[in-house]
Structure 1
Amino acid sequence: MSTKYIFLACLFLLLSVRSTATTEETQKQIADSLYICLSKAETPADSLWIMENLYDVLPRANGNLLGLELFDVANRAGNSSAALNILRQLANRYLANDSMLMELYNKTLSYHDGPTPTVDSPYRASSDELKETRTFLRFARNIHRANHASEAKRRELLQELINTHTLNQPTDIYDQAVLLHSICTMLSRTGSDAMLTRYVDKLDTLIQQLPASAISLHNAYYVHAALIYSQANQFEKAYQCDRKTLEAIRQLEKQYKDRGRYFRNYDSSRYVIYQRILSNHTKLSQPELEKYYKLAMQLVAKNPEVAETNRNYPGPQIFYNMAIKNYAQALEHIKHCINTPYVTNSSYRLMQLLRNEIECAEAVNDKETLLEASRRYNKKLESYLSERLDEKYKELQVIYDSYEMRNSYDKLQLEKQNAEAESMYMIVAIAAVAIFILLISVVILFRLYRNNRKLARTLDKSNRALRAESSHLEKSKSDLLKARDEAKKANYMKTDFIKNMSYEVKAPLKAINEYCKLITDCSDASNKKYLERFSSLVELNSELLSTIINDVLHISEIDSESVPVHNRPVELRPLCTMVLDGVRHRLSPDVALMFDTASPYICLFTDPQRVHQILLNLLTNAAKFTPKGSITLAYSVDSEKETVTFSVTDTGIGIKADKKDLIFERFVKLDKETQGAGLGLTISRLLARILGGDVILDTTYTKGARFLLILPKNKILKIQ
């Protein structure tokens, strides 16, 4: 039987079933017919068209395995376009499997776009299609990474990506698109609407510069952007993206039909787009409303899979009836689906439907439904606002970090430009002087025998020019010194301002505490217990405020390098006792504060005030995160390393090992609900380093947290 006959038979079988509804039974009949045709195919090229239609007809689980076989068949048939196309389709099916996405990407490395194949790249493909496929697969990996990374990892990756985009953008347009797409997918998981839409707009500008033939990249962007713009209430942009997605689908269908793929079905995608367009019905004209509602309901009647989706969530009917003010019918549809998992599993969809239910119930005067919907909406809104507040805080942190990075980069660039300008100035000056001297030398050699007096005048002129240049350099040096002094003065003024503010706040706080005590002392016995409790609360919060002010003052002093250090011999046991007494009032009732009596009696040559401050910060931190159990202070001498190590050990909530460096950064608080400015550990480490030591987290201890203050021995005297 000839190949031509086989294909004519296949085409007849396909066209005979194509007009019927694609039920599961019909799909099985089509698949069986295609398998018959495939068994009679003689070459890879004969098999390719049949297998492509099989891939479109078979259920997803079976189609995945067939897709990998189809890739190999396309290569054997010499059809690189079909091979790269199936890689892009498989990427959509393996979004949850990063290792598979990586394997698909590695398969693209076997292609080259040059004139000569290599051992590693035996297949030839067009440059644009190869770049399109690799970029599409990288888009898919971006989505997987955003969906499966932890919150902390997403934030870390997002910061790195934004820094790269700000400071070191790639030059290749496809690499730029991948970078912006990665930022957008990360931001879409954090809910940072304002920042997200800005980056989506940037990505849109970049996508428009890609070749029009890269339909898969345009489509991937428009699908993602439409959802983002819709959730950000930018309905016009969402509508434009949806229209472009529909146009991209139309082009893809035409391409597939031209290649003989009759069963490539985009009904589900179209239905989702029509539903999203109808959800913004207030922005649609009446003809547009009727058009998209009719298209959506035609898909429901035509496609069983779409019909099942519509039964679970009749979105088109809800939005259409609301648009034509048939609120009773819309409310009936809403009640049918509002408690289904499809709705309740999506906060955005549930809140949207609750708002619609409230509007419909109010319109038909259904007070019971209105009350219940309002109650559920308010409860959901509280949760949503809380999440948005946290997300906005994280967004501000990212913006701040990006600003700091940009500021540092600008400073480095300015310093580099100044250095280059200085170097260029010196080179020009030296070159000018050299040329000038050379000319003078030529003139001298040429006119030496007859013009000694003219030579003297020329030399005098040169000296004056050099003196003027020297004067100019002296002035530049003076200006630089003046600028340095002004910067130092500004830094000192900042420190003095913080000190003055500290004094101005502490005095009223002290007065408030004293007045509270006076009121308590003067009250009668019946109110005294209550007032004592109130006075203690005021005193505690005043102390917390003073601690925050002191922390800011200390960090300012450290930054200005004005922290005095007064080393002297100090006995460690009395010092530890004093620190323990200073923190005892901060403990919870169920916490035992202990000192390890095995610590030796020694005298250390150091600054007792700074050591006291560091230990007090560490013990206060332990008291804050230890609701019950114990806190133990101890110290030991390491003769081999010539260090003295203080340890503060608690049985509190503990700190993860991967946070061991993060907790020492400024203003970092692992628990946002705790009091304080997040400066205690930062100040402790900076002071320890001023003393020649360090503060670290002992990650080997897992029953709570253990911080170690390590100081150099200097001179140690044993106390008898």
Structure 2
Amino acid sequence: MITSSTDKRLQLLKEMSYLSMDDSTGNFWLQQLRKEAKESNQSDKEEWAIRTLIRFYYNAGDIEKVNQYITQIDSLAKQTGIYSDNYFDAHTFRCQLFLWDEQFEKAADAAIHLYNLAKEVNNETGIICSCETQGLINQRIGRDSIAVNFFLEGLDLLEKKDKDYRYIVQFLNNTIESELKLNRFNSVHKHLEELTALISDIRNNKYGPDPAFPYDRCFTLAEAFYASLYVREKNAPEALKHINAAKPYVDDLDDQFVQIFYLYSVAGYYKLTGQYTQALNTINTVMELDNDPEMKKQRAEILMEMGNTREAALQYREALTQNEDINSNAFVRQLSQLHALHDMNNLELQVKELRVTELELGAKQQQLKWTIGLAGLLLVVVILGTVIYMHTHKLKNELQKDKLALLESENALRIARDHAEESDRLKSLFLSNMSHEIRTPLNAIVGFAQILDSEMEDVDERKEYTHIIMDNSALLLNLVNDILDISRLESERYRFTFAEQNLAECCRSALTSVEHRVKPGVELRFSPEDENLMLNTDKLRLQQVIINLVGNATKFTEKGFIELAYTVDKANGLVQFTVTDTGCGIPADKQDAIFERFEKLNECVQGTGLGLSICRIIAERFNGEVLLDKKYSGGARFIFTHSFNL
């Protein structure tokens, strides 16, 4: 029974944490609040404390601590069955921490999962948070049109809810920044009017006193937005008016983003009015703060206007080189795909050559039969004389030797033919699997893209189709990556990079990347024997094995738990990992085949059937192995060993 004294104490702890929210004192009170709320079974207060701790470590940039508390808030949500505003706030902090660390794939994966969950449970705060995060991700990678769609969706929901004016200001700033890049001038004018009116209302205490609101930053950024807009519209007088309005505040602001945007607009104004020396000096100052390709392009345009074509060309080249570096990974992936196709064509040619050789040997065998028949005729003639008999006997021995040699050749050919047929079977199986696995997401991508290309007016339906395209694009990329991975690993073109790693941290990072796949009602566990164990390993490939094994478990486990554990076998110099689940298990007739390529336990589940083959190859490079524990009957358990002596 929760007493009033307990409530009062928890409320007091909450107020104490507010007094020192961003330092160690506040952290202490939050930890105490979380502990006492848990003991008194007040899950809402416990969840608020965990969410606020995540915010604390988000501000400190400590991703390990953020992941630790994300696991706790996930566990709490599964226990209560409630996905509250605090839950979505907490996950948003982690998504954005991935984004600022430029882990775009992790950020996008987590944001999409968050968005879908928020839609499923109809939590508007969750939808708003995930819209902001997906907008920021697309903005950072240059897909501003998609970013604007997410920002506007979140902004529309915000304005329908209780007016959170701070959050609306934030959404408007992000929307205007992307719309300026897209030259959507009418939309920028509209949103700037809304932004300046809202800032004025806040300053006049329309929503109550808020002394902590950053008026100067918001006012200065809005003026910088106006200046950039009028520069793009080639309206120099209006641009200068807003530059002068923002100028008194810029130097006093400790905000690099506002300074960069303001100075970039000033450089644009100088260029527009022919003041090229001032424009060049200003853009040089901007590039000291942010050496972005867009800044280099602006500098090249200024140099071109000044007549310095040589230096302008060099600057354009630098900008292009930087963009090429950004896109180089995509190019390498495409090149690897072409190489894989070339290898497949070579395999087909080898199979044809073996079949031709087989036909030639068949003809020689027929010739041998005729020779043996002739030898039989000679044996009859031998009866006529000793001389003829001796000659025929010698010939027979020679023919017998030729026959044995041909039989040996035939046996070698049969083995080569069997290998060729096995390769041909694997190729056919590969093409069959890929034609199905690739056609499924491609049909979704092409089909929904055609629908989007039509003049569709239903915004919600358009967004739903867009998400389907994005999900299937990610699925298609995973299929291609599996194929390329096994190609590189087998050809030994991929070099492993070994270094001392904290094993527990590696495992937690791997679990974080797959936890969104875990079905509701399933508990994801981690049981390390030694939290401080250091292991000489290739971190990325070790995590790939863990992600593949745990990812497989998530596909077939509907309830119960999935547990990753490791123990140290000092006697044999090994670390032994186990991935245990309470899923449907593996039928006895498939247990020996699951490590074969393209073998799938369930044909209805998407995948290449290469995951376990990749795990086995990587394990062998670690002087270990991957195997199925056939004695375990509660689901499935895979064992993976890694040697200390590498």
- TM bin, normalised by shorter chain, reads 0.3 to 0.5
After TM superposition, the score normalised by the length of structure 1 is: 0.39
Rg (Cα) greater in structure: 1
